[in-house]
Amino acid sequence: MLTNFVPSQFVKTIFHITPEELKENGIRGIITDLDNTLVEWDRPDATPQLVKWFAEMQQAGIQVTIVSNNNEMRVKAFADPMQIPFIYKARKPFRQAFRRALHLMGLKPNEVVVIGDQLLTDVLGGNRLHLHTILVIPVAKSDGFFTRFNRLVERRIFSYLKRKGHIMWGDEA
Q: What is the DSSP code string of 16-61?
A: G--HHHHHHTT--EEEE--BTTTB-TT--S--HHHHHHHHHHHHTT
Residues 78 and 66: their CA atoms lie apart, in Å, by 10
Tell me the sheet residues that pair with 67. Answer: 87
Averaged pLDDT for residues 124-150: 83
- pTM as predicted: 0.87
Averaged pLDDT for residues 54-68: 97
Of the given ranges (11-20, 55-64, 76-85, 148-157), which has the lowest mean pLDDT? Answer: 148-157
Averaged pLDDT for residues 5-10: 92
Averaged pLDDT for residues 52-67: 97
Residue 124: closest CA among 147, 92, 77: 92
User: Cβ(41)–Cβ(144) under 8 Å?
Assistant: yes
Give the residue extent of every domain in the chain.
2-163
Identify the burial level of 129 via C-beta atoms within 10 angstroms of its C-beta, where 0-12 means exposed, 13-18 middle and 19 or more buried: middle
Q: Is 38 left (phi over 0), alpha (psi -120 to 50) or beta?
A: alpha
Q: Residue 61 pLDDT > 90, yes or no?
A: yes
Tell me the CATH number for domain 2-163.
3.40.50.1000
Tell me how crowded residue 94 is: count the other CB atoms within 10 A of its CB: 13
At residue 146, the pLDDT reads 65
Averaged pLDDT for residues 132-139: 93
Entry field: residues in the chain: 173
Residues 6 and 78: their CA atoms lie apart, in Å, by 29
Using DSSP's 3-state secondary structure scheme, residue 139 falls into coil
**How does residue 170 score in pLDDT terms, banded at 50, 70 and 90?**
low
Residues 17 and 79: their CA atoms lie apart, in Å, by 20
Average pLDDT of the residues of the chain: 90
At residue 151, the pLDDT reads 67
At residue 12, the pLDDT reads 93
Does residue 133 or residue 168 have the better pLDDT? Answer: 133
**How does residue 172 score in pLDDT terms, banded at 50, 70 and 90?**
very low
Residue 16: closest CA among 122, 126, 121, 136: 136
Residues 120 and 33: their CA atoms lie apart, in Å, by 12
Over residues 71-117, the pLDDT tens digits come to 999 999 999 999 999 999 999 999 999 999 999 999 999 999 999 99
